[in-house]
Amino acid sequence: MSRYGTTPGRPEEYRQKGEKAVRPRDAATLIILQQAEEPRILLGKRSMKHKFMPGKFVFPGGRLDYIDQRIKVPSELTKTVFTRLRRETRSNVSDAKLRGLALAAIRETFEEAGLVVGRRSHEVVRTTNHSWSQYFSHGVIPPLEDMDFIARAITPPYRNRRFDTRFFMVHDSTIQSDPSQLSSASGELLDLHWLTLNEARKTDLPAITRMVIDVVEERLKIPKSQQQAAPAPFVRNAKSKWLTSNL
């Protein structure tokens, strides 16, 4: 059984018997790897007011917004990453949506942690969206070519809230703001910290976050130039059985 399925959800997250499964919503998460004597990752604590995973430590991230699929940026995911993102997706999932998931991870990190993850650029991207407008005001564009796709997980069908989440990873060389200055402007994430992998494992983590930390650890054993070609585990539940494949 996948490690994603070893920890049951909170009782209030389960559907009542006979109810139809909730369709998962597309979401994205960003793992930022801080290069130090011992690598660190950014985690924040979800507010206890949230109905989905309250009080849990997670990576910055959230739901895909329409604007993320529509906005035009002068950068692109690598062919290697795009190829892996396209695997095991419905035929009607467009490249704009897959690219939008990577952009959603950047936007949510900016909103939730105040971090500007990007690449310096003089190119102007115009948008009326408040979050993206604030992001571009820092003179950056999303570093899509530097983003690695490292995991995908779908919340089990017996939950009231379900997400089809893609996990992306970037190195801290893409941070264009002070990484020590963390803020939660949106109120989504509290108690933000840069933690070593072992420190992160000691926090109150969802099972999938714990699994992704293991994925990060394995990826660090690969030369950076080869990391984007490494497979990403895809974890989901079908007919009460946990399935894991590689993308």
Each residue of 94-126: pLDDT tens digit?
Answer: 999 999 999 999 999 999 999 999 999 999 899
Q: Which helix (H) or strand (E) holds 153?
A: strand 148-154
pTM: 0.88
* Rg (the chain; Cα; Å): 17
Structural domains of the chain in order of their starting residue, each with its CATH number: 3-246 (3.90.79.10)
What pLDDT is recorded for position 3?
A: 41
- For residue 158, what are the CA distances in angstroms to 3, 25, 28, 209, 243? 17, 14, 21, 19, 15
What pLDDT is recorded for position 12?
A: 39
User: What is the band of 50 on the pLDDT scale with cuts at 50, 70, 90?
Assistant: low
Query: How many CB atoms neighbour CB 11 within 10 A?
Result: 6
Instruction: Kindly report, residue by residue over 61-82, the tens digit of the pLDDT.
Output: 999 999 999 999 999 999 999 9
What pLDDT is recorded for position 7?
A: 37
What value does the mean pLDDT of the chain take?
85
Q: Please provide residue 149's backbone torsions phi and psi, each rounded to the nearest 5 degrees.
A: -100, 115
* Coil, strand or helix at 85: helix
- Which residues on adjacent β-strands are paired with residue 189? 46
